[in-house]
């Protein structure tokens, strides 16, 4: 387990969802450095500047470049393909779910409707990605070497 904070990018334009997501992760047992970006454009700019997160929580419906476009860009670039991206959105659209997995998102979660459920989801994400999943950190970026679908 990492000794430094886990860097999570929260890409979300709704301030209420930002607040509840941050609160939910604060209830967890791991040290998390959650960086909030209101747009996909700002997120991509940060990543291209060398700020690489351990996980991205990505809303699909964003102003400007939407989350679908950001996912496509990240998962089509060998430099960024290994950054885990969890879609965290209100969309229950089968088309969005299918397309997100076709674009190699690592998980698709529909946002819970209340804070108690949201805390449960946050703890589940935290537990799965940072305690259950086994990864090999890259020596120069801190992200994961394994490509989506790679064996253990």
58 within a domain of the structure (yes/no): yes
147 within a domain of the structure (yes/no): no
44 within a domain of the structure (yes/no): yes
Mean pLDDT value across residues 140-151: 37
Q: Is the pLDDT of residue 142 over 80?
A: no
pLDDT band at 130 (very low <50, low <70, confident <90, very high): confident
Q: Is the pLDDT of residue 36 over 90?
A: yes
Q: Residue 17's domain spans which residues?
A: 6-132
Structurally, the chain folds into a number of domains equal to 1
Long-range contacts formed by 142-150: CB under 8 A, 24+ apart: 142/7, 142/52, 142/54, 143/52, 143/53, 143/54, 143/82, 143/83, 144/82, 144/83, 144/84, 145/82, 146/82, 147/81, 147/82, 148/75, 148/81, 148/82, 148/104, 148/106
What pLDDT is stored for residue 3 in this prediction? Answer: 67
CATH number for the domain including 115? 3.40.50.2300
Q: What is the mean pLDDT of the chain?
A: 85
75 within a domain of the structure (yes/no): yes
143 within a domain of the structure (yes/no): no
Mean pLDDT value across residues 79-85: 95
* Lowest-pLDDT range of 10-14, 114-118, 135-139: 135-139
């Amino acid at each position: 387990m990492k000794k430094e904070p886990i860097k999570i990018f929260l890409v979300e334009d709704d301030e209420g969802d930002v607040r509840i997501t941050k609160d939910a992760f604060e209830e967890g047992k791991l040290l998390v450095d959650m960086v909030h970006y209101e747009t996909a454009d700002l997120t991509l700019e940060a990543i291209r500047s060398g700020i690489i997160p351990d996980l991205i929580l990505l809303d699909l419906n964003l102003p400007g470049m939407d989350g679908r476009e950001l996912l496509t860009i990240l998962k089509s670039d060998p430099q960024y393909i290994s950054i885990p991206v969890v879609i965290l959105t209100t969309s229950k659209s089968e088309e969005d779910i299918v397309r997100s997995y076709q674009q190699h998102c690592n998980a698709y979660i529909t946002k819970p409707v209340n804070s108690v459920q949201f805390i449960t989801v946050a703890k589940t994400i935290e537990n799965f990605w940072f305690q259950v999943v086994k990864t090999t950190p890259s020596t120069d970026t801190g992200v994961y070497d394994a490509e989506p679908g790679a064996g253990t």
